[in-house]
Structure 1
């Protein structure tokens, strides 16, 4: 029989409804029977004891809120009777002891990747075309139009066919048929068969709104992020367009590249418009040089690589009340497996670590690492408050509708993506991950900004959990979308890669699901499987502007 509700931690005074529960329904918890005094929709929480105003609400073993009004045993928790509150935190308690999972079955396993000169291994092989300043966005788009179709890198043609069909019907005067028009069936979504350069997975064109007009800090952060992409193991080389007078100078970009890879040896083609005789001449030279770069990139071949070469980004977006009990802990187990194999994992989204700081502090390998985490958390909160916001404003309307009614409640579930391993390093945006093991990276919770930063830090695969559904992807790293519940996986199968709903139904354990996900990661990393986000051309890229976004 399917479980109907779940108490996550022995210290909790609330439980999660796993299915819609009716008022008056009786449930047993630890040999005690509770009668629900109100209807509780699936994913929402109800009290396991009477709560008076200001009493703490505990979930995942931590404080996730406080009662505003009296709450009866068996009553639904809502934004009307609970407010955000979080546990205070202090210095690191002592040395953290971790028992790694058994990874014997994966010790000799490999994935097929692209080995780079700096020792890192790519899961894809891309060429980048990027502007140093927004003034060059149009020229990037010109190069994109010139390359995409001729080289077989154009996205799905179904939408172009739809417009062509509608134009044809209109021109022929068949206006009544326009209303009932249905598009033709989609063709094979595998884009590899028609490409000129079989070993190049694509030319990716990144545009942004930065590079000038902001602060020097903004320019430096942008150059650092772009350097992270240029030096990324999934990138074979890059073409950079610069205007010339902007804050984000070519010299600054080269400095940031050298910080990440002092022996940088990839092709880097730089074109500065204010030093060119004409825009036309610059673009022709850029196109020609990029084509020759692609010829060189096409010489790369996939070769076996240890699983220790994996750097896995851990992200959630469009979260729901099941995120913290299914998909998030499942990829947390993947993170533990990857770390035990010598790889790297990246947990970010600092606004969604509010309330679990003490657990993370205690997992840090040193006082210095713990203190850096505390410093970055407090500095971020201060910047957010300076623009009239705060971590308590993080949950979205969709989060709240699906049971995440406070930031601490959302955070306690979100943090489970980080598994249980020690925290080896804490990084500020847009630094690069270098330490094997679990790393914390300061980013917003915003889906695209966080994934953009994780990939810039070196993630060559991203695990992205969602309870509501999101099409988020990345230009150069495969983003694997994992549904927290089977209803979402079935309804939005065009964007979901993996279903974690079996955990909610009690059919699979977190550990079993995590092991299945790791097997899927290996296939994706080897190029055997393309993620839904890749096939849909979800090349989302948004640099973070500090303090403005949660």
Structure 2
């Protein structure tokens, strides 16, 4: 018989409905019967005790809210009877010890990667085109059309063929498919556009320079073509300085062009095309070679979360994160608004007081800026989150933090800082899915794991994004975007450890180029920098 309720932590006073529950239905949990008060949808929470107004609500073993009115035992928690509440944190309260649990099983595992001269190893081989300022977006788009059509032969897809058939009043079967053979098999060409580089405060341009420099330094990137207008805030020298700050000994080829120094657009594009083609041809000679999985830097992301994300998909990523820590690899946990409520655990896991203080300082500054804008972290859950049972930010955060596993926090990074420490890193980013994945790639992630319970179609220009579903129903409904289904955990068919091991095997296949992610197949290359300042 399928379980109908699950209590995530022994100290919890609420439980998660694993199936739809009917009013007056009697359900037993850990030997205690509970009468369901109201019809309750799967993924939502029911009270395991009678809540008086103001009583703490505990889930995942932490404070996730307070009852705003009386809630009877067995009744469903809603946005009407629960308010966001999280514990106050001032610093370390406990020492932390951790014994790596998975080293022997994974210490000899390898993947086939692209070795760079600085010792980093890529899971992809990308030549990247991007502008320093939005004024060059059109030229990037022109180059994108030229290179994708002539170099990658990405031209007519089935949707364009459908439109062509409608225009010609004919069947799609009569439209000939164009040649799809790539000119170079060992390198991809990707393009970034953005709305920054000028018009805002100088700090925003400097931050964007750090982010773009991180993309160039990412081990998945073989080299880059960079377009500048000339008069913008993000000057070429600022970008070069940012690149030098990250990697002063970088030998990657970076081609930089300034339009205001080159004459006509046609003249400039002719030079760019010829130079870039020669560089891409050389980069195509780089081949995959075996390397330990310790060279993986895995970004941990969740988006379109549901009430099962913190039970299945996110803890599965947590197991992978602990594997990485065990073998002296790297994991990156971001989305600071979704760590609200679990700060104490993370602070105690920091390897020293300096890291703990930096984490709290970044969290407080971020939250203060949100409050100054007339909002708060309590506004983080989206309508989709709330509909599927994540009714407070702390409740969402407690489940989201499970992606970070149980290992020590080795370093805390502000937005735009590049990873230098092995093990678990915390990276300050917004909770916005694409802003967060954009930042993790800029900090060096060469694989990104992205959990979702509702279905989120997104990818990254340089880093493979593996989509992990929290439930099998969504995975079956949206198979074109989901790579890995963790729904067996919810059904009680597999443990977190078993599911995490399976995901680790899948990661190795993606990292080795044996499996192409769904996001890559759909050519999803989303890039949204975090704009912290204002426009001037």
Q: State whether TM-score is above 0.5.
A: yes
* Deviation by residue 1:374-393 (Cα, 9 ceiling, x = unmatched): 00000000111111111000
Q: Structure 1 residue 160: deviation in Å? A: 1.4
TM superposition score normalised by structure 1? 0.95
What is the CA–CA distance in structure 2 between the aligned matches of 1:55 and 1:486, rounded to whole Å?
35
* Deviation by residue 1:425-465 (Cα, 9 ceiling, x = unmatched): 00000110110000000000101000000010000000000
- The 1:186–1:16 alpha-carbon spacing in structure 2 relative to 1, beyond 3 Å, is farther
Tell me the residue number matched to 2:152: 152
Tell me the residue number matched to 1:386: 372
Matched, 1:377 2:363: yes
1:482 to 456, 465, 468: 468
Q: Structure 1 residue 153: deviation in Å? A: 5.0
Matched, 1:540 2:526: yes
Task: Tell whether the 8 Å contact from 1:380 to 1:547 is kept in structure 2 after alignment.
Answer: no
What is the CA–CA distance in structure 2 between the aligned matches of 1:85 and 1:31, rounded to whole Å?
30
What is the CA–CA distance in structure 1 between the aligned matches of 2:173 and 2:256, rounded to whole Å?
43
Task: Tell whether the 8 Å contact from 1:17 to 1:44 is kept in structure 2 after alignment.
Answer: yes
2:348 to 357, 362, 369: 362
Tell me how many residue pairs correspond in the alignment. 534
Task: Tell whether the 8 Å contact from 2:333 to 2:424 is kept in structure 1 after alignment.
Answer: yes
1:322-361 alignment runs, 5 A limit: 322-361=308-347
* Deviation by residue 1:55-94 (Cα, 9 ceiling, x = unmatched): 1111001111111110000001000100111111132124
Tell me the residue number matched to 2:216: 230
What is the CA–CA distance in structure 1 between the aligned matches of 2:152 and 2:165, rounded to whole Å?
22
What is the CA–CA distance in structure 2 between the aligned matches of 1:187 and 1:404, rounded to whole Å?
49
Tell me the residue number matched to 1:102: 102
What is the CA–CA distance in structure 2 between the aligned matches of 1:375 and 1:467, rounded to whole Å?
31
Task: Tell whether the 8 Å contact from 2:165 to 2:175 is kept in structure 1 after alignment.
Answer: no
1:135-534 alignment runs, 5 A limit: 135-154=135-154, 157-169=157-169, 194-200=181-187, 202-534=188-520
Q: Structure 1 residue 186: deviation in Å? A: 13
* Deviation by residue 1:258-285 (Cα, 9 ceiling, x = unmatched): 1111111111101001111211111110
What is the CA–CA distance in structure 1 between the aligned matches of 2:398 and 2:323, rounded to whole Å?
21
Task: Tell whether the 8 Å contact from 1:15 to 1:45 is kept in structure 2 after alignment.
Answer: yes
Deviates more, 1:25-34 or 1:382-391: 25-34
- The 1:186–1:38 alpha-carbon spacing in structure 2 relative to 1, beyond 3 Å, is farther
TM superposition score normalised by structure 2? 0.97
1:108-127 alignment runs, 5 A limit: 108-127=108-127
Determine helix, strand or coil for the equivalent of 1:58.
Answer: strand
Q: Structure 1 residue 163: deviation in Å? A: 1.1
After the TM superposition, which segments of 4 or more aligned residues of structure 1 sit over 2 Å from their partners? Answer: 183-188
What is the CA–CA distance in structure 1 between the aligned matches of 2:458 and 2:354, rounded to whole Å?
34
Tell me the residue number matched to 2:55: 55
Q: Structure 1 residue 299: deviation in Å? A: 1.0
What is the CA–CA distance in structure 1 between the aligned matches of 2:307 and 2:99, rounded to whole Å?
29
Task: Tell whether the 8 Å contact from 1:17 to 1:41 is kept in structure 2 after alignment.
Answer: yes
Tell me the residue number matched to 1:176: none
Task: Tell whether the 8 Å contact from 2:210 to 2:242 is kept in structure 1 after alignment.
Answer: yes
Tell me the residue number matched to 2:133: 133
Task: Tell whether the 8 Å contact from 1:156 to 1:536 is kept in structure 2 after alignment.
Answer: no
Task: Tell whether the 8 Å contact from 2:17 to 2:40 is kept in structure 1 after alignment.
Answer: yes
- The 1:333–1:187 alpha-carbon spacing in structure 2 relative to 1, beyond 3 Å, is farther
Task: Tell whether the 8 Å contact from 1:123 to 1:525 is kept in structure 2 after alignment.
Answer: yes
Determine helix, strand or coil for the equivalent of 2:150.
Answer: coil
Q: Structure 1 residue 33: deviation in Å? A: 1.1
What is the CA–CA distance in structure 2 between the aligned matches of 1:21 and 1:121, rounded to whole Å?
49
What is the CA–CA distance in structure 2 between the aligned matches of 1:98 and 1:184, rounded to whole Å?
61
Q: Structure 1 residue 106: deviation in Å? A: 2.1
Tell me the residue number matched to 1:178: none
What is the CA–CA distance in structure 2 between the aligned matches of 1:101 and 1:127, rounded to whole Å?
38
What is the CA–CA distance in structure 2 between the aligned matches of 1:394 and 1:185, rounded to whole Å?
50
What is the CA–CA distance in structure 2 between the aligned matches of 1:384 and 1:153, rounded to whole Å?
45
What is the CA–CA distance in structure 2 between the aligned matches of 1:207 and 1:260, rounded to whole Å?
22
What is the CA–CA distance in structure 2 between the aligned matches of 1:400 and 1:328, rounded to whole Å?
18
- Give 5+ residue unaligned stretches, structure 1: 173-180
Deviates more, 1:442-451 or 1:26-35: 26-35
Q: Structure 1 residue 29: deviation in Å? A: 2.5
Task: Tell whether the 8 Å contact from 1:57 to 1:67 is kept in structure 2 after alignment.
Answer: yes
- The 1:156–1:19 alpha-carbon spacing in structure 2 relative to 1, beyond 3 Å, is farther
Task: Tell whether the 8 Å contact from 1:153 to 1:203 is kept in structure 2 after alignment.
Answer: no
Q: Structure 1 residue 244: deviation in Å? A: 0.3
Deviates more, 1:80-89 or 1:503-512: 80-89
Task: Tell whether the 8 Å contact from 1:155 to 1:536 is kept in structure 2 after alignment.
Answer: no
What is the CA–CA distance in structure 2 between the aligned matches of 1:47 and 1:135, rounded to whole Å?
55
Task: Tell whether the 8 Å contact from 1:387 to 1:547 is kept in structure 2 after alignment.
Answer: no
Task: Tell whether the 8 Å contact from 1:384 to 1:547 is kept in structure 2 after alignment.
Answer: no
